[in-house]
Amino acid sequence: MSNKDKLDRFRTLESSIVRQGCTSPKEADRLSARGRLQLLFDDCKYEEFGLLVKHRSTTFGMQNRDIAAEGVVTVFGKVGGRPVVAISEDYSSMAGTFGEYHGKKFIRAIDLALEVGCPVVTFNESAGLRLQEGIDALECYGALFRKVVEASGVIPQISLLMGSCFGGQAYYPVCQDFIIQVSEYGLLGIAGPEFVKQQTGEVVTAEKLGSERMHFSITGQSHFLAGYDKDAIDCLKLLLSYLPSSNRETSLRVELDTQIKSNQLFLDSILPEDTKRPFSMSSILDTVFDSPLLEVQAGFANNCIIGFGRLEGRVVGILANNSEHYYGVIDVDASDKMARFIRFCDAFNIPLISFHDCPGYMIGLDQESKGILRHGAKLLFAWAECTVPCIAVVVRKSYAGAHFGMLNKSIGADYVLAWPTAVVAPVGAKTATKFLFKATDSTDIEAYKEEYETPYKSAERGFIDGIILPSETRSSLVKILNFLENKKSTNKYSKEHSNCPT
């Protein structure tokens, strides 16, 4: 065979494989495996690797199966001018099933991202394990999970649920940092409806098992929600713009086109006189930061708010209580939500700012039976181990365990600010006097309030670094962040890792 024939043969083979990966699903607004990649990368350009990888199975008819690109497209390119590795499962190629070499392509892609120090993103749409390959495919799952854990905290890992993702396939995105779920057809679950029926007898639909209602609102396993493929990719690009490429870098600082916000005086009158009345914490955050924050897990544990924002162009992680939901109390779900976010920001050099207005951890039989102590302790571990700049702003209530759970000086804050409206105490005055004096005399209540339900006693002891007017919050945070920019932390004791409650 001449060189020309060899080149022609390769062109034909390559064209055939790529053509199969360009087959779009029947539904409107859904893209093919390669169509999604084109929409993601700058100028629709990327470099594919592993195109000719092929399975080695010869049982159950597999010797006659030609699976284009092993059901998964692996590429690299640039998104927003920065390198990104992407993995796109191809449902049109044997339903995107996970075989041994399908998994090996995943692992190779993560290795490449680790070597370069760039994010890895995956478009998940697969029917699950390729049963024809048996133990070879199953063992590759374990190798993939181990690789994901190895990459955790080193490079950002983001998954987009573009279709069904059931079985062992579902563990991969859940082990990553963020999941973007397409609400119209993205599904996630430990087992699909047919397998559930066969194993347990329970009859349930795929939508009930794995829809956005389940995972965006109830379990919190999905972090962002998107309508269709393009919306999910737009969300991914926005998220990437807040993240560094790896733990060796910091997030890109964006130069602001506008003057520093001039509406800060609005904050001086935002709190109601009645401390039991809720108010809009989101309005405070939108006023203080450059623009509305990119909220994470917005449909889950709404008694707290987490997300990414910018302060004079610098990316920060934001946590806040939300008194409009359960008075901002910290429960099991809020604990998990905030603790994981803290650990992510700490791993990727993103400073953290918390806004307190919390009456405490949720008490009672329901939360006790769900393990509020061990879930709540995750927050304590997360804050205590933090090495990035950590700043607390006490807006209103900061009671009991929530005083630590929302970040205070003793648990690890670098700087604590308080508004004059801050109420910092073990418990409320009425509760305290009832325990102290077995009664709730109004004179005792007022005396307790004067002594402890103000930020001044804490400031006297050095637990609060500064009491500021609400309208000074933004300017104070800018100065503190500038000062803490080069903060260095070292572990006092040598150890493998902490043993955080799970």
Question: Which pLDDT does position 448 carry in this prediction?
Answer: 78
Domains and CATH numbers, the chain: 3-242 (3.90.226.10), 264-422+464-484 (3.90.226.10)
Using 50, 70 and 90 to split pLDDT, how confident is the model at 9? confident
Decide if 401 is catalytic: yes
For the cut 80, the answer to whether the pLDDT of residue 222 exceeds it is yes
CA–chain centroid gap for 325, Å, is: 21
Catalytic residue, candidates 167, 189, 307, 328: 167
* Residue 139 and residue 229 in contact, taking contact as beta carbons nearer than 8 Å: no
Question: Which pLDDT does position 395 carry in this prediction?
Answer: 97
Specify burial of residue 364 (Cβ count, 10 A radius: 0-12, 13-18, 19+).
exposed
Question: Which pLDDT does position 260 carry in this prediction?
Answer: 59
| Residue entry with tokens 């098992």 | 209
Q: What is the arithmetic mean of pLDDT over 29-53?
A: 94
Among residues 52, 48, 105, the alpha carbon closest in space to that of 76 is found at 48
For the cut 70, the answer to whether the pLDDT of residue 26 exceeds it is no
Decide if 309 is catalytic: no
For the cut 70, the answer to whether the pLDDT of residue 13 exceeds it is no
Q: How far apart are CA 475 and CA 473, in angstroms?
A: 6
Q: How far apart are CA 424 and CA 428, in angstroms?
A: 9
Using 50, 70 and 90 to split pLDDT, how confident is the model at 60? confident
Least confident of 48-52, 232-236, 490-494: 490-494
Catalytic residue, candidates 127, 151, 320, 402: 402
Using 50, 70 and 90 to split pLDDT, how confident is the model at 19? low
Q: What is the mean pLDDT of the chain?
A: 90
Decide if 168 is catalytic: yes
Question: Which pLDDT does position 6 carry in this prediction?
Answer: 64
Instruction: Write the CB contacts of 500 (distance below 8 Å, at least 6 apart in sequence).
Output: 377, 378, 381, 382
Catalytic residue, candidates 163, 168, 360, 412: 168
Q: How far apart are the first and last CA of the chain?
A: 62
For the cut 80, the answer to whether the pLDDT of residue 294 exceeds it is yes
Question: Which pLDDT does position 317 carry in this prediction?
Answer: 98
For the cut 90, the answer to whether the pLDDT of residue 493 exceeds it is no
Least confident of 122-131, 195-204, 484-493: 484-493
Decide if 109 is catalytic: no
* Residue 463 and residue 415 in contact, taking contact as beta carbons nearer than 8 Å: no
